[in-house]
């Protein structure tokens, strides 16, 4: 198989962990006789510094021609005071919109060896394995008008959705539930928001097409509680952009190993952007201690979701599990009596396993 | 002191716990020589059943003339399929708007005796004591347009704020921080939302007026994480309506005793509506096992915030603490080797202490 992969390292530890993903993918290519052509482009703060914009056109063009995109992370204190259109996050929002990456998949699953680092009691978190499906290109983060009014005395943002936008993400979530334990929790605020009412109607309409999936509706405030009190009750959670932003970050800390969580953002044609759930961690950037595993597991998600290379994906996931089981860990993972390694050494452990 | 208190028991366990609050307040009145005149009115599902509307005008009028309002809880499966304007929650939203209750205060503090019931590890949650100040009458839950468009193919909700609305809640939060540990965390999504940018600007402007308060800004997704990983870092959190809805419910389960958490919703003239953070719990309604302590502690908040009766408030709070310390608890509080009591018995324990 021959694939064109665009690498967007971005800022902070993004560059370091991207190198790790590339090495691991090269090992996979060699082992399974694939050809992966890599092309690196700028996004976020790095792009602002070199091109004066967080999302240069060359980056967008390259991504549009790619079979898949890997992204490290964007942002850092250097650009925090910039005006809106010159903020690193704009690059991320822009590429999501440009590629129409409407479906953000965030799996959250504990690693046995790491559960002790969870802020939750072991009996609460143990056994949890959920997938948040977040709508990523609509809602409050993209709706217009989004502006000041009356000389800056008033301000307005707009939460807008079309029926089609809701239908496609709901379909995606039903399909994901079919491939998992067959349970779907739709999260909304249907007791208050008109958009949530439409959302709930569409979920109800769609469920007749997926008779093998059991559906429940939970209000967003209740969902924020249940994720903590009883995370094992969830299989797939589907929700709109902003609720998904909050709930997926909330969920990401439950297992105690944010540095291990990958994510995928997909469009209708199967092209995807894959990135770790963690940020650019400017405080540890350049020190060689960043945990590359979330980035490496994101590459595994790419193999599975965009290239349908399930064996290859599984090999990477098995490698990670085995390495953790033998006690290796990076500085962020507080493993007792383990052996702490840096970014490069952890990467080599994965490559060697492959 | 002579005060007129409107009681809105509402639905489910609301009626039972309201009786408890009334008994406790009567004991306080007797002990401290106050006159509390109680008037009971309908709201929510109960009001739909008797008046065909979740918020009858008689209820609004009575609340407008009251010195303070106590609310039990609204909602239940009986009314879940009703059209929007006939849902119990509309009564709650309506009374907040009618009384201009813009400031919702939700303290979250663990009780030593109950911390073992927290989903968090004791070392994570122990010592946490925070106050969420939520804007309650603006933002996405009240903005217009909120409607279907193009034959129901599109839908829109509106997040609107005026500068004045933001200023008054930010002032309230700074003042609350001054009366506590002097730290204020403002939560927004200023990297994406225009409304959040104005919010952050106003917090920055205001902070010069409160030099004794240390301010930090945290993005809402990061705040959802930090509440779990490090809840003790927070003193006062201030945020807009929807973020506050989600974060305050998230925070409410951290200590493991949702049945213990009171809340206050205040307007500019100091009139307030006080209600437990928990809901109407239809599954246990009428069984005599509901925990009345959140409602009783809400009455204590009323004494403090609306009537400035600090000794009286403190006596109630001390009573609750002492009763828990002696091992008494309701069914929801899983105390080991404690003595389980029902709603009425728990209420009498508080009254006897007073
Ligand atoms: C950087 C920001 C715009 C982004 C979002 O909220 O969508 C991020 O928080 C995320 O969740 O990927
Ligand atoms: C019932 C609902 C409208 C309400 C809200 O979200 O404001 C409730 O969840 C609350 O937090 O008091």
- All domains of chain B, ordered by start, with CATH? 1-102+263-354 (3.40.718.10), 119-254 (3.40.718.10)
Q: Check: CB of residue A173 under 8 Å from CB of residue A238.
A: yes
Confidence of residue B196 (pLDDT cuts 50, 70, 90): very high
Chain A: nearest CA to B19, how far in angstroms?
26
Instruction: Give catalytic status of residue A67 as yes or no.
Output: no
pLDDT of residue B257: 86
B-chain residues within 8 Å CB-CB of A195?
A: 155-157
**Would you say residue A153 has pLDDT above 90?**
yes
Cα A215 to ligand 2 centre (Å): 23
Vertex B74: Cα angle to A186 and B305 (nearest 5): 115
Task: Please tell me the least confidently modeled range out of A76-80, A246-250, B265-269, B343-347.
Answer: A76-80
pLDDT for the residue A335? 83
> Which of B194, B198, B253 lies nearest to residue A228, judging by beta carbons?
B253
Token output for B316: 């109630």
In angstroms, rounded to a whole number, what is the distance separating the alpha carbons of residues A108 and A128? 8
Give the mean model confidence (pLDDT) for residues B115-142.
Answer: 96
What pLDDT score does A80 carry? 86
The strand pairing partners of B105, in sequence order, are B133, B264
Cβ–Cβ < 8 Å for B333, B259: yes
Question: Hey, are the CB atoms on A160 and B155 less than 8 Å from each other?
Answer: yes
How many whole angstroms separate alpha carbon A41 and alpha carbon B294?
55
Q: CB–CB of B148 and A93 under 8 A?
A: no
pLDDT, one tens digit per residue, over A43-95 is 999 999 999 999 999 999 999 999 999 999 999 999 988 888 899 999 999 99
Tell me, what's the pLDDT at B152? Answer: 92
Residue B112: the pLDDT is: 86
User: Which residue of A88, A147, A250, A263 is the best one to mutate when testing the B interface, meaning the one whose CB has the most B CBs within 10 A?
Assistant: A250
Beta strands in chain B (DSSP E): 2-10, 35-40, 68-73, 103-109, 129-135, 143-149, 154-162, 183-188, 214-219, 236-239, 262-266, 272-276, 328-329, 339-340
Closest-CA distance, A13 to chain B, in angstroms, reads 18
A91-105, A108-122, B194-208: segment of lowest average pLDDT = A108-122
In angstroms, what CA-CA distances link A281 with A12, A50, A75, A258, B37? 6, 21, 9, 12, 58
Minimal Cα–Cα distance from A116 to chain B, Å? 10
SS3 B57: helix
Q: What is the pLDDT of residue B110?
A: 86
**Can you tell me the mean pLDDT for B220-230?**
98
Instruction: Tell me if A238 sits within 8 A of A187, measured CB to CB.
Output: yes
CB interface of A with B, residues 210-239, below 8 Å: 220-222, 224-225, 228-229
Q: What integer is the mean pLDDT of A113-124?
A: 93
Question: Cβ-count burial of B36 within 10 angstroms (0-12 exposed, 13-18 middle, 19+ buried)?
Answer: buried
The stretch A264-277 carries a mean pLDDT of 95
- Spatial CA neighbour of B332 closest among B271, B273, B287, B268: B287
Please check whether residue B281 is in contact with residue B73, taking contact to mean a CB–CB distance below 8 angstroms: yes
Predicted pLDDT at B335: 83
- B155 part of contact set with chain A, CB < 8 Å: yes
Cβ of residue A147 closer than 8 Å to a chain B Cβ: yes
Contacts of A201 (CB under 8 A, 6+ apart): none
**Residues A160-179: pLDDT tens digits?**
999 999 999 999 999 999 99
A221 is in an annotated binding site: yes
Residue ID of nearest Cα to ligand 2 atom 7: B245
- What residues of B are labeled active site? 141, 189, 221, 245, 249
> What is the dihedral sign for C-alpha A233, A235, A241, A245?
positive
Query: Is residue A318 among the annotated active site residues?
Result: no
Torsion from C-alpha of A233, A236, A237, A242, nearest 10 degrees = 140
pTM for the whole structure: 0.96
Average pLDDT over chain A reads 96
Whether residue B113 is predicted with pLDDT greater than 90 in this model: the reply is no
Strands B236-239 and A236-239: unpaired
Kindly indicate the confidence band of residue A240, based on its pLDDT and cuts at 50, 70 and 90.
Answer: very high
pLDDT of A25 higher than 90: yes
B284 DSSP 8-state letter:
G
Mean pLDDT across B212-236: 98
Chain segment B5-22, per-residue pLDDT in tens:
999 999 999 999 999 999
Q: What are the tens digits of pLDDT across the range A181-238? A: 999 999 999 989 999 999 999 999 999 999 999 999 999 999 999 999 999 999 999 9
Contact A157 B195 (CB under 8 A): yes
Six-digit token pair at B140?
């996405």
B341 prior amide bond cis, ω within 30 = no
At residue B45, φ and ψ (nearest 5 deg) are -60, -40
How far does residue A241's CA lie from ligand 1's centre (Å)?
9
Nearest CA to CA, how far is B157 from chain A (Å)? 5
Q: Percentages helix, strand, coil for chain B, rounded to the nearest 5?
A: 45, 25, 30
Ligand 2 site, residue B92, Cβ cutoff 6 A: yes
- Residue B305, C-beta contacts closer than 8 angstroms, at least 6 positions apart: B105, B264, B266, B270, B272
Residue B84 is predicted with a pLDDT of 85
Cβ separation A194–B249 shorter than 8 A? no
**Beta bridge mates, A69:** A6, A273
List A189, A206, A274, A305, catalytic entry? A189
Ligand 1: nearest atom to the Cα of B192? 3
Phi-psi region of A104 (alpha: psi -120 to 50; beta: other; left: phi over 0): beta
Say if strands A262-266 and B272-276 run parallel, antiparallel, or are unpaired: unpaired
pLDDT at B81 over 90: no
B296-299 contact pairs (CB < 8 A, 24+): B296/B17, B296/B20, B296/B21, B296/B24, B296/B320, B296/B347, B296/B350, B297/B260, B297/B261, B297/B262, B298/B21, B298/B70, B298/B262, B298/B263, B298/B264, B298/B274, B299/B21, B299/B24, B299/B25, B299/B70, B299/B274
Cα A191 from Cα A198, distance rounded (Å): 11
- Tell me the H-state helices in B7-87: 14-32, 45-51, 57-65
Please report the residues numbered 258 through 277 in chain B whose beta carbons come closer than 8 angstroms to any beta carbon of chain A.
258
Asked whether B225 lines ligand 1 (CB < 6 A), one says: no
Between B209 and B80, the more confident residue is: B209
Residue whose token pair is 């390259």: A62
- Give percent of chain B with pLDDT exceeding 90: 93
Q: Is residue A33 left, alpha or beta, with left meaning phi > 0 and alpha meaning psi from -120 to 50?
A: left
Residue A335 in contact with partner chain B when CB distance is under 8 A: no
Distance CA B239, CA B250 (A): 14
Residue B268 clears pLDDT 90, i.e. is over it: yes
């Amino acid at each position: 198989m021959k694939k064109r992969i665009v690498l967007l390292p971005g800022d902070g530890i993004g560059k370091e962990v991207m190198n790790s993903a590339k090495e691991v993918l090269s090992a996979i290519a060699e082992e399974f006789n694939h050809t992966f052509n890599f092309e690196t482009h700028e996004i976020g703060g790095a792009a602002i510094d070199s091109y004066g914009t967080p999302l240069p056109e060359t980056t967008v063009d390259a991504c549009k021609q790619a079979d898949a995109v890997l992204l490290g992370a964007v942002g850092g204190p250097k650009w925090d005071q910039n005006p809106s259109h010159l903020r690193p996050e704009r690059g991320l929002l822009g590429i999501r919109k440009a590629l129409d990456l409407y479906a953000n998949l965030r799996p959250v699953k504990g690693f046995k060896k790491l559960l002790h680092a969870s802020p939750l009691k072991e009996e609460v978190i143990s056994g949890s394995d959920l997938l948040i499906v977040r709508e990523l290109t609509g809602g409050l983060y993209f709706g217009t008008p989004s502006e000041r009014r009356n000389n800056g005395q008033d301000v307005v943002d707009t939460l807008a959705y079309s029926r089609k936008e809701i239908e496609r993400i709901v379909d995606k979530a039903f399909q994901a539930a079919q491939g998992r334990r067959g349970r779907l929790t739709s999260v909304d605020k249907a007791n208050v928001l008109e958009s949530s009412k439409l959302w709930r109607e569409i979920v109800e309409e769609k469920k007749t097409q997926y008779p093998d999936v059991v559906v429940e509706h939970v209000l967003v405030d209740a969902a924020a509680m249940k994720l903590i009190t009883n995370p094992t009750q969830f299989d797939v959670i589907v929700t709109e952009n902003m609720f998904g932003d909050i709930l997926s970050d909330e969920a990401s800390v439950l297992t105690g190993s944010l540095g291990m969580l990958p994510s995928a953002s997909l469009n209708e044609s199967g092209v995807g952007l894959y990135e770790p759930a963690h940020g650019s961690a400017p405080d540890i950037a350049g020190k060689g201690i960043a945990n590359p595993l979330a980035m490496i597991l994101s590459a595994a998600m790419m193999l599975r979701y965009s290239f349908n290379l399930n064996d290859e994906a599984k090999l990477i996931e098995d490698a990670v599990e085995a390495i953790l089981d033998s006690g290796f860990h990076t500085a962020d993972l507080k493993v007792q009596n383990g052996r702490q390694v840096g970014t490069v050494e952890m990467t080599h452990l994965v490559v060697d396993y492959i």
